[in-house]
Amino acid sequence: MKKRQRATRLVAAAAMTIASVAPVAAAPAPAQAAVPGVAKTYASLMYRSLTADATMAKLRSTLATQKTDQRKRDSEAVKAKKVNDSAQARLASVTAGHKAVHEKLKSAERALSDAKNAVARQSKQRPRNNAAIARAKRAVTAATTTRDTRRTRLHQAAAALRTAKKDASTARSALSGATSAATRAASAIAQTQRRIDTAGTAAGYATQAAALSRTVVDETRPVFTVADTTSVYGTTVHKNVAFAFKRMVDDARADGVLLSGGGFRTKERQIELRKINGCPDVWTAPASSCRVPTAIPGRSLHEIGLAVDVTSGGKTLTRKSKAFTWMSAHAAEYGFVNLPSEAWHWSITGG
């Protein structure tokens, strides 16, 4: 199966629920069973391995969306700056205009005061000069008109100044918000890019998990209980491999290969099989001495749910079967390794 096709299925699988062929207890997440820490680490690494492509695809999609958002935010910030620059320039102009009008009003008020004083002086002059008094009074009337006109203009300038101040404040706040949004967008991009740059690969995680597999077996066996198992499409396996086993079955089915098999079995059942398979001695005879190779009780990975005797279409795998060819090409991606002497036997160690 081509890697690109598998990656496509990984993305799709991330959004699917686990329900179809048969009851499945395994959840699409790292196992949470009360098992040794190394086993949990193994399960986590396999989960990350099998979701690495989907995770990377999601990160790249997120990055593309964030870059689109950043361009929008940057554009909004540029527009906000232009609006703010215009508003601040307008405020400066209106402020200067208001000051000029105010100065003119003060000048008009001084002129009016001078005109009134002139009337008072003319009125005291003797002999009385009615023509001069009349001229002085006309000057007062003109000065009063000028003052009143400039008062009106000052009121208008004050109103314009209030509006300009409000507009400038609004523009300044909008610029601050737009700039902050653009900064946040850039920060989000940097964070996502770092996650992409530091993300592990599927192969890398799988390799780390494989390096722990024997330790997982050694530390799981002494504390194993049946409660640590779950059923995946009718095959009982340890919870720490359930996610990987389910993904393997799903991906094989997508490639036209049906996988099933026998996973966990009790020590009692292992003893029965040793007898059924004609082992010379239940407890000491090597597996190879049995008619069908069967591990000594207490040593089988089936007893802790970390091995599966794989079948396809109800038939045991042979090296010539399509399922064996598929497993040989892909099983390692899911943490399963074949025991060379048994085409059907797959476990996390190959033992």
Judge whether 348 and 241 are in contact, CB under 8 Å: yes
Q: Tell me, what's the pLDDT at 293?
A: 87
Q: Tell me, what's the pLDDT at 34?
A: 59
**Domain coordinates of the chain in residue numbers?**
3-52+203-347, 64-198
Q: How far is CA 305 from the centre of its chain?
A: 34
3-52+203-347, which class in CATH? alpha beta
Which token pair is 339?
A: 């025991």
* Integer Cα distance of 46 and 240 in angstroms: 9
Which token pair is 163?
A: 């509006």
Is the pLDDT assigned to residue 14 strictly greater than 90? Answer: no
φ, ψ of residue 27 to 5 degrees: the values are -95, 150
Q: What global pTM score does this model have?
A: 0.71
The pLDDT mean for the chain works out to 90
Which token pair is 139?
A: 């000057």
Condensed to tens digits (0 to 9), the pLDDT of residues 56-112 reads 999 999 999 999 999 999 999 999 999 999 999 999 999 999 999 999 999 999 999
Condensed to tens digits (0 to 9), the pLDDT of residues 269-304 reads 999 998 999 999 999 999 989 998 889 999 999 999
Choices 1.20.120, 3.30.70, 1.10.287, 2.60.40: CATH for 64-198: 1.10.287
Q: Which of 251, 338, 238, 303 is nearest to 30 (CA)?
A: 238
Condensed to tens digits (0 to 9), the pLDDT of residues 296-341 reads 999 999 999 999 999 999 999 999 999 999 999 999 999 999 999 9
φ, ψ of residue 234 to 5 degrees: the values are 90, -5
Tell me the DSSP string of 269-289: HHHHHHHHTT-S-TTTS-GGG
Condensed to tens digits (0 to 9), the pLDDT of residues 207-223 reads 999 999 999 999 999 99
